[in-house]
């Protein structure tokens, strides 16, 4: 007998029919003898609808009241799902975050889970009941309702799995797993049977938005095996877990990730002196602008160039700041470019293989794609290239590293 936490997202519970279909899935697993805890999202579109209502009343609604409002979406689905389970003859009980006592800090709209009390849940499971918990919400020390940020039900599910020491946390969604790359870009992209937490984090932070990043971090920290699977078709999904050291032949590259949301800024002709990088990049991050790739070069004449990327939405603000900094430092030139994309190859197998970067550059060279910036980490190599080459680059890397079916 195992203890499984299942999470169903908004589309999976988007209508009464779908809620009934979820109930049927839960019942099958329950009848097989497993203990089941289900975390659910609000019905698809509901959280946005609630946010729009608030915005129609006040431009910047009170954050505490916002959480009281948006947490209702999940309260609807837990009740409906329990009714559907009871209709199938399975006894079930719903709990809001506060009723479980999912204790969080008091940062409304982006609260972090501090502790989960598993007593009531364990008691219900031992009595043969299915337990259904509202995702995305908790309660602070003073009893205020809090929410965990958009997509937060994933984190609720993982946190429940960690607290209850579940055998697996299954995230049911509208895709049947994690793919080697976006199938909309590469038709031959393949579903991965498994991937490590680290790889998933790299894939996710690059824009594979299957899971909330925080939930993957959480799962890695507490070593909760996570499985991403489809609520609309049967299949094994993708298992996200720790690196399997016994596996003799690991693929060198597990996936190709990309990100279209960044823009590049360059400041040229600045002094090659201690403190200059800090002056340039410190001012940008003090404005709460997140900096991603950073490259610095020093030319023969001892002048330095710094290039970095930021989110495209932050480009106007970052340009303005960079122009001010350029004036202060007597820089030669500031330029920016938002027609860039970031493409990365990701794989824990890279740690033990040489020549991976060369192979990547060779594949891009063969297509005549110019590389503007390069950065690497232990399990990832990233290049910044011109936006129009995105699909070509991803496709050629996908085949160069043998990722197709
Ligand atoms: N309902 C919330 C949202 O739409 C939480 C979730 O679905 O995970 O962001
Ligand atoms: Mg979601």
pLDDT digits (tens, 9 = 90+) for 304-337: 999 999 999 999 999 999 999 999 999 999 999 9
**Distance between Cα 44 and ligand 1 center (Å):** 8
Distance CA 72, CA 42 (A): 8
**Distance between Cα 22 and ligand 1 center (Å):** 17
Closest ligand to C-alpha of residue 70 is 1
Residue from 191, 259, 252 nearest 401 by CA: 252
Pocket of ligand 1 (CB under 6 A): 9-10, 41-42, 47, 73, 135-136, 150-153
Query: Can you say whether residue 33 is alpha, beta or left, with left for phi > 0 and alpha for psi between -120 and 50 degrees?
Result: left
Domain count, the chain: 2
**Distance between Cα 201 and ligand 1 center (Å):** 19
Residue from 337, 281, 338 nearest 304 by CA: 281
Pocket test for ligand 1, best of 67, 137, 153 (most atoms within 8 A of CB): 153
Pocket test for ligand 1, best of 6, 49, 73, 109 (most atoms within 8 A of CB): 73
| 118, part of any domain | yes
φ, ψ of residue 29 in degrees (nearest 5): -70, -40
Percentage of the chain beyond pLDDT 70 is 97
Strands 262-271 and 137-139: unpaired
**Distance between Cα 7 and ligand 2 center (Å):** 10
| 198, part of any domain | no
Which residue, judged by its Cα, is nearest atom 5 of ligand 1?
151
* Sign of the Cα pseudo-torsion (239, 244, 249, 254, in order): positive
Pocket test for ligand 1, best of 151, 159, 216 (most atoms within 8 A of CB): 151
Pocket test for ligand 1, best of 49, 72, 135 (most atoms within 8 A of CB): 135
* 9/146 same-domain check: yes
* 10/159 same-domain check: yes
Final residue of a domain: which of 147, 174, 201?
Answer: 174
pLDDT digits (tens, 9 = 90+) for 208-246: 578 888 899 999 999 999 999 998 899 999 999 997 766
**Distance between Cα 180 and ligand 1 center (Å):** 25
Distance CA 312, CA 366 (A): 29
Secondary structure class of 22 (helix, strand, coil): helix
Query: For position 205, what pLDDT does the model report?
Result: 64
Q: Which two tokens stand for residue 380?
A: 């990832």
pTM over 0.75: yes
Final residue of a domain: which of 150, 174, 198?
Answer: 174
| 203, part of any domain | no
* CATH of residue 355: 3.30.2130.10
| Domain assignment of residue 333, given as a range | 256-400
φ, ψ of residue 387 in degrees (nearest 5): -55, -40
* 24/150 same-domain check: yes
| 51, part of any domain | yes
Do residues 187 and 24 touch, judged by C-beta distance below 8 A?
no
Residue from 226, 56, 198, 71 nearest 133 by CA: 71
The helix or strand, by DSSP H or E, that contains position 74, with its residue range, turns out to be helix 72-87
- Note down pLDDT in tens along the chain; length 405 residues: 899 999 999 999 999 999 999 999 999 999 999 999 999 999 999 999 999 999 999 999 999 999 999 999 999 999 999 999 999 999 999 999 999 999 999 999 999 999 999 999 999 999 999 999 999 999 999 999 999 999 999 999 999 999 999 999 999 988 899 999 998 899 999 999 999 999 999 987 655 578 888 899 999 999 999 999 998 899 999 999 997 766 656 678 999 999 999 999 999 999 999 999 999 999 999 999 999 999 999 988 889 999 999 999 999 999 999 999 999 999 999 999 999 999 999 999 998 888 999 999 999 999 999 999 999 999 999 999 999 999 999 999 999 999 987
Do residues 254 and 349 touch, judged by C-beta distance below 8 A?
yes
Ligand 1 atom index nearest CA of 41 = 7
**Distance between Cα 210 and ligand 2 center (Å):** 8
Final residue of a domain: which of 174, 202, 221?
Answer: 174
Strands 333-337 and 262-271: antiparallel
Q: Which two tokens stand for residue 183?
A: 């199938």
| 375, part of any domain | yes
DSSP string, 178-200: -BSS-TTT-TT--B-SEEEHHHH
DSSP string, 142-177: TS-EEE--TTTHHHHHHHHHHHHT-SEEEEEESSSS
């Amino acid at each position: 007998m195992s203890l499984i936490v299942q999470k169903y997202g908004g589309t999976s519970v988007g209508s009464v029919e779908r809620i009934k279909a979820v109930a049927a899935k839960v019942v099958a697993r329950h009848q097989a003898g497993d203990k089941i805890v289900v975390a659910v999202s609000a019905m698809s579109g509901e959280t946005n609808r609630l946010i729009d209502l608030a915005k129609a009343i006040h431009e910047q609604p009170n954050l505490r009241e916002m959480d009281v409002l948006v947490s209702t979406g999940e309260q609807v689905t837990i009740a409906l799902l329990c009714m559907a389970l009871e209709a199938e003859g399975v006894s079930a009980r719903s709990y809001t975050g506060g009723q479980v006592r999912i204790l969080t800090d008091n940062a409304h709209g982006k609260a972090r889970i501090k502790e989960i009390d598993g007593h009531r849940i364990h008691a219900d499971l031992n009595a043969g009941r299915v337990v259904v918990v509202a995702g995305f919400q908790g309660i602070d020390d003073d009893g205020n309702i809090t929410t965990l940020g958009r997509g937060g039900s994933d984190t609720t599910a993982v946190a429940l799995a960690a607290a209850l020491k579940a055998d697996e946390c299954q995230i049911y969604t509208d895709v049947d797993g994690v793919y080697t790359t976006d199938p909309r870009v590469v038709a031959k992209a393949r579903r991965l049977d498994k991937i490590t937490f680290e790889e998933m984090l790299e894939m996710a932070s690059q824009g594979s938005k299957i899971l909330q990043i925080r939930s993957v971090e959480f799962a890695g920290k507490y070593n909760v095996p996570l499985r991403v699977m489809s609520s609309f078709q049967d299949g094994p999904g993708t298992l996200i877990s720790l690196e399997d050291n016994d596996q003799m032949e690991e693929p060198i590259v597990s996936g190709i990730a990309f990100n279209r949301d960044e823009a590049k800024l360059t400041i040229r002709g600045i002094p090659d002196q201690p403190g200059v990088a800090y002056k340039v990049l410190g001012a940008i991050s003090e404005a709460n602008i997140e900096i991603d790739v950073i490259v610095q070069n020093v030319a023969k004449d001892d002048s330095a160039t710094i290039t970095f990327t930021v989110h495209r939405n932050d480009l106007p603000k970052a340009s303005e700041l960079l122009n001010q900094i350029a004036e202060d430092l007597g820089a030669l030139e500031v330029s920016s470019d938002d027609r860039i994309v970031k493409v990365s190859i990701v794989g824990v197998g890279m740690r033990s293989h040489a020549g991976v970067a060369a192979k990547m550059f060779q594949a891009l060279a063969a297509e005549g794609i110019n590389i503007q910036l390069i950065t690497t980490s232990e399990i990832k190599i990233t290049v910044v290239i011109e936006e129009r080459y995105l699909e070509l680059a991803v496709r050629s890397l996908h085949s160069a590293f043998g990722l197709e079916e």
